[in-house]
Amino acid sequence: VFYALDHFVRLADAGLDVAAVNLSLATASLYAGACDAVQTGEIDGAGFAAMLADLRDRGVAVTVASGNDGVAGRMAFPACLSAAVAVGATDLADHIAPFSNTAAGMDLLAPGATSGSSSLAIPSGTGYSQWAGTSFAAPHAAGAYALLDGRYPTATVDQRLWFLRTAGVA
């Protein structure tokens, strides 16, 4: 993941307009607050935090799935990083999906429950299987950042986040 994120830093440095990077991944470890300093065998919080902050400083939002454990008050790593745009999932009625992790540091909610939409339908044999999760919600947020980048190319990640929070359903 570090190499992929570093690639986006290099693209941004080369002058390419990178609005957002999506991370639809999560560890089994859940955190109530910012996890920037976490160091375990599988997690280098400081390294990830620095990489996400570096991208954010370049105007690139890193949207990250909050996790699918249905836990209130905790999010999975790396959504818990302070520079991440942590994204939980909503259901068809714009309520927080029961499987979505949530915490005070969560930034956005986006569609992530099964709806029959082609964005959530996976080809399966002769038809489609319906899937749900915060890994489906986070790309919606990344796409919203990309659309806002097209309309407001000089806006910062935080300005776009403010717009999404104030213009969307509470």
Q: What value does the mean pLDDT of the chain take?
A: 90
| CA 150 – CA 128 distance, rounded (Å) | 32
pLDDT, average across residues 2-20: 91
Does residue 106 or residue 3 have the better pLDDT?
Answer: 106
- Three-class secondary structure of residue 122 per DSSP: strand
Residues 6+ apart with CB under 8 A from 166: none
pLDDT at 81 over 60: yes
With pLDDT > 70 as the criterion, what percentage of the chain qualifies? Answer: 94
In 3D, which of 88, 77, 22 has the Cα closest to residue 45?
77
pLDDT of residue 118: 44
Task: Provide the whole-model pTM.
Answer: 0.90
What integer pLDDT is reported at residue 33 of this predicted model?
93
**Peptide linkage before 111 cis (omega within 30 of 0):** no
In the prediction, which pLDDT does 32 show? 95
Lowest mean pLDDT among 15-24, 31-40, 56-65, 126-135: 126-135
d(CA 114, CA 123): 14
- 139 has a pLDDT exceeding 90: yes
Span 143-150, mean pLDDT?
Answer: 96
Tens-place pLDDT, residues 96-119: 999 999 999 999 999 998 754 544
